[in-house]
Structure 1
């Protein structure tokens, strides 16, 4: 009867902590470490403590732990959208690392609205996040000021710029698209078009377009204003844009189409099939991201693969190193995209 009363009292009492310790055959200090500093406890002991806690229906009181240690063991990540699988891979990588270290990961979505991103960050700071990851650098200055004034470590993901004042975990968007455009130029293409997602509040897209223009400028070329199509990152917009580009006369029609991501490129390829056109016979096209379907589509899509999960892993490890006092600031880490040359891009055909 006495034991039943104790079990009914809740999950944070001293008696309960001792009961978990007895069941797991460890000290109460070890139980505390298993939840508060799991990296200091062996995996076998940690699992034993968790099994005992689960069997006794005991949950550590997070608020009490935070007050006692001045630690919340909460990290945050703000991504632009839930509609793109690349961000899911980043979050998966972060989650795996933080979970191993006993951290809970809060997730926010800005929907490409900087003000909403700032509101998400403020809400996370109010709940005591110990670190934060944000996508790209297009955020209000107040966001970074709030992080710096509170001494909260942070990283910017999906972007890498040596001149950036922020620690960046990602890739050089300009260099990646410069490289892709150079590949198309090496195949003899001289008339280019582009299908892209909006660049409003998106520094990554701005840098990708700059990479294309810089590569073309070096060859004495440019993209005509009417051949730059910008809109939603959907299959439908990719298809609509391709149809519009194909209304040009054959002599002025682009032979190479650079797309901001695979989604847009795949939409364009679907539209081409409906019109009896085929890559690379009638045009060449490239994407970016290397979605799972891109290598299985016919023709296979020439694109670039980024290890998005590794971005998440590196981001979490950098943040944890600062939290642990191992370094004063998160360090920038560059991921180099891998070009996947497939059938959708070939030599320019004489017209």
Structure 2
């Protein structure tokens, strides 16, 4: 039978208060300075002498003090956090951009909050609303195709934003990235100039993806200028997996006459097409040229490296981060809003077969 003392012991244990956390006043008292000086060391270190700054920083480190971000945000009306919503992080250019954005923000004292929408406009809108509720200072969005209420929501709340990985001369100054139509227009003309006239196209889905739609437009416009077109049986749409690239490549190559060049809407579709071409015995580039968009590491390490348009993801990320910091701090930033894609010619492409 339990003793009567046990419940009292339990109550005493539950009533024991947690260890008091260190606060701003504790740091100021230990360093022998005012709380205003501690705040300046944290928020504007350049305004404090090196000797005094070193003393305060030593106390902060010794006591393990972490500034109260919520309190600081109320005082300064800034959270020093920037949000970014990407459709996916599996793409090479998005991954490179994320690293560049984070590095650029850290240099300027900002934190990156990151989310993925999986190309779902409603999901992206919900994530943006959560970021705004948390008090972000600005946000980076991918492309210009979004939920119809998203831009109004951000403008209504005065949250600066920038569109990345897209460029349109008509909206210069609001977006940072490549002109997707121009990139595929150039790639298609490269193939036409090498004698190709029968084209296969494995496009990326254009659902909630204006960049993919612009790339598709670039291919069609380049072909139309030369009096060419993709035959319906040589056209297929996928998402972003290697398995899809293989299946869709086999599908379009089943129709006669076969195309002499296949353009793929992203890197993974291109890798799948190249792998499938080897499995069914098509000689690349002697019988068929295969090209893609974006550049992931494996594309240059396959037995037949793939020709592609490489997006300067790092540059897009850095410039998008610098631009949004400038908007948040209300100061001009010098950047090149259009980041041209680079044509990388490798062994997967060549002249059309005789």
Q: Distance in 1 between matches of 2:85 and 2:251?
A: 35
Q: Aligned pair in 2 of structure 1 residues 202, 34: CA closer, same or farther (>3 Å)? A: farther
Residue 169 of structure 2 corresponds to 162
Residue 350 of structure 2 corresponds to 346
**Mean CA deviation greater in 103-112 or 34-43:** 34-43
- Deviation of 1:237 after TM superposition, in Å, equals 0.7
Whether 1:291 aligns to 2:296 is: yes
Q: Distance in 2 between matches of 1:342 and 1:148?
A: 45
Matches within 5 A, 1:302-313: 302-313=307-318
Q: Distance in 1 between matches of 2:29 and 2:234?
A: 70
Residue 334 of structure 1 corresponds to 338
Alignment RMSD (CA, Å): 2.5
- Deviation of 1:114 after TM superposition, in Å, equals 0.6
Q: Aligned pair in 2 of structure 1 residues 136, 330: CA closer, same or farther (>3 Å)? A: farther
- Deviation of 1:165 after TM superposition, in Å, equals 7.5
**Mean CA deviation greater in 334-343 or 43-52:** 43-52
Bigger Rg over Cα: 2
TM value normalised by structure 2: 0.88
Deviation string for 1:211-246 (max 9, x for gaps)?
000000000011112211112211111111111122
Residue 328 of structure 2 corresponds to 323
Q: Aligned pair in 2 of structure 1 residues 257, 41: CA closer, same or farther (>3 Å)? A: farther
Matches within 5 A, 1:161-180: 161-164=168-171, 167-180=174-187
Q: Distance in 1 between matches of 2:84 and 2:234?
A: 36
For the residue of structure 1 that corresponds to 2:149, the secondary structure is: helix
Whether 1:281 aligns to 2:292 is: no
- C-alpha contact 1:194 1:228 (8 A) present in aligned 2: yes
Whether 1:254 aligns to 2:259 is: yes
- C-alpha contact 1:168 1:332 (8 A) present in aligned 2: no
- C-alpha contact 2:163 2:175 (8 A) present in aligned 1: yes
Residue 3 of structure 1 corresponds to none
Deviation string for 1:67-121 (max 9, x for gaps)?
1111111110000013223212111111111112221211111110111111111
- C-alpha contact 2:265 2:292 (8 A) present in aligned 1: yes
TM value normalised by structure 1: 0.89
Q: Aligned pair in 2 of structure 1 residues 39, 255: CA closer, same or farther (>3 Å)? A: farther
- In the alignment, structure 2 segments of 5+ residues that lack a partner are 1-17
After TM superposition, which residue ranges in structure 1, 4 or more long, deviate above 6 angstroms? 39-48, 329-332
Deviation string for 1:259-281 (max 9, x for gaps)?
11121111111111111222101
From 147, 154, 158, the counterpart of 2:154: 147
Aligned residue pairs, count: 337
Q: Distance in 1 between matches of 2:51 and 2:251?
A: 62
Deviation string for 1:293-350 (max 9, x for gaps)?
21221211111112212111111111111222214x9977110111101110100012
- In the alignment, structure 1 segments of 5+ residues that lack a partner are 1-6
From 48, 63, 67, the counterpart of 1:60: 67
Q: Aligned pair in 2 of structure 1 residues 345, 160: CA closer, same or farther (>3 Å)? A: same
- Deviation of 1:175 after TM superposition, in Å, equals 0.1
